Structure 1
Amino acid sequence: MSLDRKAAYVTLLTKSSYLPGVLVLDYTLRSVGTCYPLVVMVTPSVPQECRDVLARRDIQLRDITALESLPNVHSLATHDVRFRDTWTKLRVFELVEFKRAVLLDADMIVMRNMDELFDIELPEDSIAATHVCACNPRKLPHYPPDWVPANCAYTPLVHPSGSTSPTKITKDSPRPHTQLNSGLVVLKPSLELAQSVYTHLHTSPLVPTWSFPDQDLLADFFKGRWEPLPWKYNALKTLMIIHKPLWRDEEIKCLHYILADKPWQARVPQDGKGECDKCNQWWWDRFEKLAAEMQENNEDWELVLANVAK
């Protein structure tokens, strides 16, 4: 894709508590030399002071409204209330000023340049994403019953082939192979496509059955029309523990801090012996470098510090 064609990385911010995540995500994109901007979709719930901090970092903002399912149609398990805002990520399809967008969650860091995602072949009305990890190591009872290691698309993969060749989806694939993780999605914005997605949200009889709001919708709506990406573009932090034959630190393009415990909510213990301490330290290392840039404006930095662990 030539750089005269407009394209962007896009993320969503709905509350102040995710401001540190957005700022570190933006810092990491710049640090790996991306040619494309980060655009932050903001809802009316985002305070003006947060918007001002982002603007002073030269981060582009786009005002959007919240997107929800119809009343009393979909409910979330108590464990997953953090997903309440995630339907709103789908507003990215409305950003038609961009020929292509790479949607990113705010709980990610980019560790190596991945601008090649703007160049991959992407048929009309299709998307690209990585598979879910369907191992359910915590044995959460509200997860789908077919989420077991034998059905996980990452289980058959090993290094080095797994870094470039994701598991193919065939007519005989177990159902979890057809499910994607929406932390990173490559797409072509389109108002027509956006409306079709929203209509699906408001009319599909499957909505009450979805455990993971936006990603279950995307997997269902784009069934047979989403292209699997290698794990390294959305390196779920749990893969480091669950899929050791596949994981290599040096292969990671974009690291995703899935699950409820976000890295900015707890400092890494000095002994660093926890199973996720290493990758959480990667986030804090980048946060400290961001601090060096931002502390000149004390007011902005105090707002950031108010939303991270002491």
Structure 2
Amino acid sequence: MVSKTLPNAAWMLVLTNTNDYVKGAIIVACVLRRLSTQYPLVVLCTSAVSEGAQELLSKAGCILKRIEPIHPPGKTTYFAERFVETWTKLAVWNQDEYERVVLLDADMLPLQNMDELMTVPLPDGDYVAASHACTCNPQKIKAYPADWIPSNCAYTSSSASKNDYFNSGLIVLTPSQGKFQDIVARLYGVPDLSIYPFPDQDFLNEIFAGRWVPLPYIYNSLKTLSYAHSGMWNLQDVKNIHYILTPKPWEVNVKQEQEADESDQRYYLQYQLWWDLYNDIGFDTDTVNKALYNDDR
């Protein structure tokens, strides 16, 4: 239930370059509006986001705000290219013109109104709220930590050894310039950032260890939960799908997906949901691609 006294709050999303994640951000913006959210979607953009991309985002109803990228000096080794710019997500803590922010990733798809997150009680400004990560590693990715196994997953057992670990795709937080400065100072003091296989996620779990409020999985429904924890997963309950890993929805040809191998077919329905909304909203793919890349891809 949304409080009658609405806080000065916003959904917030970070873009660090012009790529297909812009399409994801457009869908998030349009769907949030369709779901009658009472809060704006603020997109934090670095200078690497093109004018064409920004124009598309503005047309989708986003509030755009320019930020500087966060590139810590510590040694880095990433097993996925998409992790290179994830540190810039920390900039949401610096947006203290808002009392409450809900950070979203662009590879998400809201399915139901989630405005109640804006009034989720937090013990104090040093706490965040988030959903547990799934540490089952159902796709057997070799680069994942060795202890990411079902017996250590919070969704498998309430006593799992790693059940205090959250996914950073959706975080409810209280912005504070002081907190932001503390976070960045700590980040810049880490000489070898390779200790964080999942960069911002591991780091934030370290920062907020013992100081986070668990949210139900429905607010950050990792696409893999439908397979790894099928007994728990109920699409009718899900409020927000998170398309972790690859491929992302915009990379999937749903017309061919049913002919793909079994591992891809697991998530066909979730990809179809994204494309149904994308097509229903009326964005022409060729027009979007031309605006983003000035080409005919």
Q: Same fold (TM over 0.5)?
A: yes
Query: What CA deviation, in whole Å up to 9, does each residue of 1:262-308 have, x standing for no partner?
Result: 100121035736111110000001101221xx56xx96574369899
Matched, 1:230 2:219: no
Q: Secondary structure at the match of 1:289?
A: helix
Structure 1 partner of 2:92: 92
| Among candidates 37, 40, 43, match of residue 37 of structure 1 | 40
The AA in structure 2 aligned to 1:35 is Q
* Structure 1 portions without partners, runs of 5+: 157-166
1:207-286 paired onto structure 2 within 5 Å: 207-269=193-255, 272=258, 274-286=265-277
| Among candidates 36, 53, 56, match of residue 53 of structure 1 | 56
Structure 2 partner of 1:164: none
Query: What CA deviation, in whole Å up to 9, does each residue of 1:160-218 have, x standing for no partner?
Result: xxxxxxx5xxxx751x2222101100000000110111112122467331110111111
**What percent of counterpart residues are identical?**
38
> 2:253 and 2:194 mapped to 1: Cα distance?
37
Q: Secondary structure at the match of 2:13?
A: strand
CA drift at 1:3: 5.2
Report if the CA contact (8 A) 1:19-1:307 is conserved: no
Matched, 1:133 2:119: no
Q: Secondary structure at the match of 1:10?
A: strand
Matched, 1:28 2:6: no
Structure 2 partner of 1:159: none
Q: Secondary structure at the match of 2:255?
A: coil
Structure 2 partner of 1:5: 7
Report if the CA contact (8 A) 2:168-2:200 is conserved: yes
Structure 2 partner of 1:75: 77
CA drift at 1:138: 2.2
Structure 1 partner of 2:262: none
What value does the CA root-mean-square deviation take over the aligned residues? 2.2
The AA in structure 1 aligned to 2:237 is E
What TM-score comes out, normalization by structure 1 length? Answer: 0.86
> 2:240 and 2:294 mapped to 1: Cα distance?
26
What TM-score comes out, normalization by structure 2 length? Answer: 0.90
* Structure 2 portions without partners, runs of 5+: 260-264
The AA in structure 2 aligned to 1:303 is A
1:84-123 paired onto structure 2 within 5 Å: 84-123=84-123
CA drift at 1:95: 0.7
The AA in structure 2 aligned to 1:88 is T
> 1:236 and 1:299 mapped to 2: Cα distance?
30
State the 4+ residue runs in structure 1 displaced beyond 6 angstroms: 304-308
> 2:179 and 2:90 mapped to 1: Cα distance?
10
Structure 2 partner of 1:160: none
Change (3 A) 1:2 1:193: farther
Change (3 A) 1:114 1:97: same
